[in-house]
Amino acid sequence: MNDRIALSFDDRHYTHAELDALTAGLAETLTERGVRQGDRVALMSSNRPEFVVAVGAIWLTGAAVVLLSPAWKRDDVRHALAVTRPAHAVGDQPVLAEAMPMLSLDRPIAPGSTSFAPPAPESDAVLVFSSGTTGLPKAVRHTHASFDAAVRHWRTALGFGAEDRIQIVTPPSHILGLLNIVLALRTGAWVRLHRRFELDRMLRHIEADRITVEMAVAPIALALAAHPDLESYDLSSLRYIMWGATPVTASVAETVTRRTGVGWVPAYGASELPVIACNPLDGARLDSVGRPVPGVEIRVVSTITGAEVEPGEIGEIQARSPSLMAGYLPEESTAAAYADGWYRTGDVGYLDSDGWLRITDRLKEMIKVRGFQVAPAEVESVLHSHPAVLDCAVFGEPDAADGEQIVAAVLVDGAVTAEELVDLVGTRLASYKRPRRVVFVPEIPRLPSGKVLRRELKERHGRPADL
């Protein structure tokens, strides 16, 4: 396997043996700079092979890697460093170099051959930041044991083998990007890393590299469905496209399948528990994130009493597994994330009698209208079905009479009025789920994972409570 190509980037190709040598060489350099077992090392890097080498090198030394997004600004980095307190830093971003001494990934990495003792399974492996869509992000701590379990679960869920070929267009500083990279390397598969997401480049490489498994968070799925020349690409090598990070928008997924013939496999995970549920590869359905993967238990509890509810009843989704995080930083945030040893996902949904899991929305994002709970995703799904709607997001704002009212932020391409969109929702859903306001916007702010930044939407387009 050592002579096989493991990683490609632009026109550069790395065998497993070459990656191992570079990883050992960088680990030697880190050790010379004082990195020791139990340390934390901040890593803030653009998408590049050196990122992969750096993660492996930090793990070889017995240290934990603190993943910082290269999109972060000075205040984001300051918050992350204050929370995790890393002793060392590696990367290629000036904003990190300004904050603390940083080993630059722009300098050549000399191959090495030193053997290092394997890290203890219970020691920290990676600290990755939660999405932070409703507040400052927390650092999620994974041990080597919990992350290894997540990789095993992902391999099983995807039916992933050594002959598969995958490409990474999402940031590897996000848990999904890192999970996919490590999955490919440990399985002996082939992976292409891209500098950034460019739709046509991604499609060209599916065709040229004969990619077998494609990952598509919501923005990628939307871009695929809207691509005017999608049919001109040969996507026949794909076994499926995986949809993760957000609930599936059925109309978008169906458009892509109709135009390409490629089906979808919805899956569900979180930074805290990377692989929770996944559809079967044969018979995947768009109305469910699938069944719990082997090794993960799921239950649904009442949001009022905390008691487990019957199949079909909506409540908070909770899970437990060997792949569950070791906790948060700040540590005081950890206790609230658990209930009797079960991780509280904060997602609302239900399990049917056959074990299929459906997510209706985030607990914190539910909108209460006249005492009724409204799931933004339900309203968004209807809005997405209008041919003029490119993207949309729904949020609540205070209302003196109803408690909250629904606001729809909509990005359109074509002629459509607010009244038409409100009426469309009214024909599909209960009257209290109709938006009170429709705001036409130039973009829907999202994280790279596809999650909507509702807090940012409210700040831009919400109204004060007294208006």
Q: Is the pTM of this model over 0.85?
A: no
Q: Which residues of 343-365 are buried (b: 16+ CB within 10 A; e: fewer)?
A: bbbbbbbbbeeeebbbbbbbeeb
C-alpha 107/C-alpha 124 separation (Å) is: 27
Beta partners for 337?
A: none
Token duo for residue 50: 């050196």
Per residue of the chain (467 residues), what is the pLDDT tens digit? 678 899 999 999 999 999 999 999 999 999 999 999 999 999 999 999 999 999 999 999 999 999 998 888 888 899 899 999 999 999 999 999 999 999 999 999 999 999 999 999 999 999 998 755 445 678 999 999 999 999 999 999 999 999 999 999 987 888 889 999 999 999 999 999 999 889 999 999 999 999 999 999 877 888 899 999 999 999 999 999 999 877 788 888 999 999 999 999 999 998 999 999 999 999 899 999 999 999 999 999 998 899 999 999 999 999 999 999 999 998 988 888 899 889 999 888 999 999 999 988 776 777 878 766 687 888 998 999 999 999 999 998 888 777 789 999 999 988 899 999 999 999 888 788 899 999 999 999 887 767 788 888 888 888 765 44
C-alpha 238/C-alpha 56 separation (Å) is: 29
CATH superfamily ID and name for 366-461:
ANL, C-terminal domain (3.30.300.30)
**What string of H, E and C letters represents the secondary structure of the chain?**
CCCCEEEEECCEEEEHHHHHHHHHHHHHHHHHCCCCCCCEEEEECCCCHHHHHHHHHHHHCCCEEEEECCCCCHHHHHHHHHHHCCCEEEECCHHHHHHCCCEECCCCCCCCCCCCCCCCCCCEEEEEECCCCCCCCCEEEEEHHHHHHHHHHHHHHHCCCCCCEEEECCCCCCHHHHHHHHHHHHHCCEEEECCCCCHHHHHHHHHHHCCCEEEECHHHHHHHHHCCCHHHCCCCCCCEEEECCCCCCHHHHHHHHHHHCCCEEEEECCCCCCCCEECCCCCCCCCCCEEECCCCEEEEECCCCCCECCCCCCEEEEEECCCCCCEEECHHHCHHHEECCEEEEEEEEEECCCCCEEEEEEHHHCEEECCEEECHHHHHHHHHCCCCEEEEEEEEEEECCCEEEEEEEEEECCCCCHHHHHHHHHHHCCHHHCCCEEEECCCCCECCCCCECHHHHHHHHCCCCCC
Task: Give the pLDDT confidence score for residue 394 in this predicted structure.
Answer: 93
C-alpha 339/C-alpha 97 separation (Å) is: 40
Ramachandran assignment for 10, one of left (phi > 0), alpha (psi -120 to 50 degrees), beta (any other): left
What residues have CB less than 8 Å from 163, skipping those under 6 apart? 189, 212
How many Cα atoms occupy the beta-carbon half-sphere of 311 within 13 Å?
Answer: 6
Task: Give the pLDDT confidence score for residue 466 in this predicted structure.
Answer: 46
Amino acid identity, residue 192?
R
Task: Tell me: cis bond preceding 330? Omega within 30 of 0 counts.
Answer: yes
C-alpha 428/C-alpha 85 separation (Å) is: 50
Q: CB count, 10 Å around CB of 371? A: 8
Q: How many residues does the chain have?
A: 467
Q: Residue 170 phi/psi, 5° resolution? A: -90, 155
For residues 410 and 438, the answer to whether their CB atoms sit within 8 Å is yes
Beta partners for 343?
A: 319, 338
Q: Which residues of 21-34 are buried (b: 16+ CB within 10 A; e: fewer)?
A: bbbbbbbbbbbeee
For residues 348 and 359, the answer to whether their CB atoms sit within 8 Å is yes
For residues 100 and 89, the answer to whether their CB atoms sit within 8 Å is yes
C-alpha 277/C-alpha 296 separation (Å) is: 8
Task: Give the pLDDT confidence score for residue 133 in this predicted structure.
Answer: 45
301 vs 304, 313, 342, 349, CA distance in Å? 9, 9, 11, 10
Beta partners for 368?
A: 373
For residues 270 and 276, the answer to whether their CB atoms sit within 8 Å is yes
Beta partners for 399?
A: 403
Rounded to a whole number of angstroms, the CA Rg of the chain reads 22
How many Cα atoms occupy the beta-carbon half-sphere of 363 within 13 Å?
Answer: 17
